[in-house]
Structure 1
Amino acid sequence: MERRKILIATKTYPSISTKYQETVCTAGVLLDDEEKPVQWIRIYPIRFRQLDFDKRYPRWSIISAKIERNEKDYREESFRIDDSSIEVIRKIDTRKNWEERKALVMPLEFKSIQDIKEQGKSLGIIKPQIIKKYFCKKEIEREWKPKQQTILDQMDLFEPSVQLDKIPYKFGYEFISPDGKKHSCTINDWEIQQLYRNCRDRSNETSMENKEKEALEKVRQKLEDEFLSKKDLYFIMGNLKNHKNSFMIIGIFYPPLIKM
């Protein structure tokens, strides 16, 4: 393994698997020794919530860690990480309209999802030409599958404070990319899923149904009312390992919209 610097751009909401238990996919930018952007990178699998607290890297931090290509994943951006080697170096702030964040991310921008595919990549950031609308869909299954719940129960024996909800809704955008193609993509950004959980859990409503309604409305206000009118939106897109042509929004890059 080689020690490298990585900018953490986004983390997906934890998923449950029989092989890795609870895992998170992290996407970011591989940096050179001078902290200049080199390429997009995917770190998977990583049991983020089981990391020591000093190694739980926040979004938009630069970390140093030992990594190597994940040879079991055909996607060239996919790497494994040595959890014990993680060092959080510093957090990139939002001063001057996200100036430093933009300098690290925008040199690696793609024109469209099709552009990502044509370059043989599976991960990248794009700017939608037109965002048609925000959407929210109810999941068919509200609870984890029995095998997944068994894994969570086993984890709880050792870490009873760890609780992972299955989010019973999917959030997303319908948009048109600069090449004129229409897309409808769900969002798997941990930040957005956590927004829903926080709003639901802090609600003063008495019934779970009303708590969820209030949380859904606050997510809509964030993703539709605020983001579509006040933010200069870019989407960090990633594909699925077993469905290479299917892309989802794994992170939203939302510097303030500068009106001329």
Structure 2
Amino acid sequence: MERRKILIVAKTYPSISTKYRETVCTAGILLDDNEQSLEWVRIYPVRFRQLDFDKRYPRWSIISAKIEKNDKDSRLESYRIDDSSIEIVRSIGTHDNWSERKSFVLPLEFESIQSIKDQGKSLGIIKPKSIVKYYYKKDKREWGDKQQGILDQPDFFEIPSDLEKIPYKFGYEFIENNQVKHKYSISDWEISELYRKCRDQSKKYLFEEREAEALEKVREKLEVDFLNKKDLYFIVGNLKDHRQTFMIIGLFYPPIPKNNQRSESSYQQLTLFDS
């Protein structure tokens, strides 16, 4: 393994694994010795919630760690990490309209999903030309029997798994610059956590009311705030066993500079369409 620096850009909501019990997929940017962006990387698997507290890297932190190509995954960006080697170097803040974050991310922007595919890649960032609609849909409320069985197994570290099944999927239908339309779900841990926290912090009496309030707050964030006040980009990646299937694994949303902000109504006329 070789020690490298990586900027952490997105983490997916934990998934259940037969071998690792609970894993997280991390999207990041590989940096050179001078902390200049080189390429997108995928770090998987990571038992993130079982890491020592000082190794639980937050989003937008630069870490130093020993990594190597993942021999179980032929996608070019896929690496595995030595958990014990993780060191958090520094955090990248939001000053000056996210200028430092942009300096890392935007040089690695792709024109479209097709451009990612054409270059033999499986991970990247794109900017949608327009958002057709934000959506959410119901999902199963409980893990399947096989998944629950994995969670119920004794853990080597004797750490119980309280991984919650999020009963909704959130996503965007959007059009790229090449006029191709996509409908992608969002696997970003940040969005699932937003829903969960809004529900748990709700003062409503009935559970159904708390859920409804949380869904509305997520909608306000992803549809109202992000589409009116943010310069929205999608960090997208494909599935290991379904290489043509992509999803949104992270959202990059620097604010629109105040002198460029449009009114809500005019912005929606420009970027929102009826499906």
Once the two structures are superposed, the pairs formed by residues 146-157 of structure 1 within 5 Å of their partners are 146-154=145-153
Q: Which residue of 1 aligns with 2:89?
A: 89
Post-superposition offset of 1:203: 1.1
Residue 13 of structure 2 aligns with an amino acid whose one-letter code is Y
1:130 and 1:177 in contact (8 A); partners too: yes
Residue 18 of structure 1 aligns with an amino acid whose one-letter code is T
CA distance in 1, matches of 2:204, 2:152: 29
**Is 1:9 paired with 2:12?**
no
CA distance in 1, matches of 2:208, 2:25: 30
SS of residue paired to 2:111? coil
Q: Which residue of 1 aligns with 2:245?
A: 246
Once the two structures are superposed, the pairs formed by residues 55-134 of structure 1 within 5 Å of their partners are 55-134=55-134
Q: Which residue of 2 aligns with 1:20?
A: 20
**Is 1:217 paired with 2:216?**
yes
Per-residue CA deviations over 1:190-226 (Å, capped at 9, x if unaligned) read 0000000001111112222111111100000000010
Which 5+ residue runs of structure 2 have no aligned equivalent? Answer: 261-275
SS of residue paired to 1:23? strand
CA distance in 1, matches of 2:193, 2:243: 27
1:29 and 1:41 in contact (8 A); partners too: yes
SS of residue paired to 1:158? coil
CA distance in 2, matches of 1:70, 1:247: 20
Q: TM-score, normalised by structure 1?
A: 0.97
1:13 and 1:189 in contact (8 A); partners too: yes
Which 5+ residue runs of structure 1 have no aligned equivalent? Answer: none
Residue identity over aligned pairs, in percent, reads: 69
CA distance in 1, matches of 2:159, 2:72: 30
Aligned CA distance change for structure 1 residues 54 and 155 (closer, same or farther; 3 Å): farther
SS of residue paired to 1:251? strand
**How many residues in Structure 1 have an aligned counterpart in Structure 2?**
258
CA distance in 2, matches of 1:38, 1:106: 12
Q: Which residue of 1 aligns with 2:29?
A: 29
Q: TM-score, normalised by structure 2?
A: 0.92
Per-residue CA deviations over 1:66-88 (Å, capped at 9, x if unaligned) read 00000111101000000000000
Post-superposition offset of 1:62: 0.0
Post-superposition offset of 1:142: 1.2
Post-superposition offset of 1:58: 0.3
CA distance in 2, matches of 1:197, 1:56: 20
Residue 150 of structure 1 aligns with an amino acid whose one-letter code is G
CA distance in 2, matches of 1:39, 1:81: 17
Residue 151 of structure 1 aligns with an amino acid whose one-letter code is I
CA distance in 1, matches of 2:219, 2:38: 35
**Is 1:182 paired with 2:172?**
no
SS of residue paired to 1:159? coil
Residue 81 of structure 2 aligns with an amino acid whose one-letter code is I
Structure 1 ranges of 4+ moved more than 6 A: none
Post-superposition offset of 1:155: 5.2
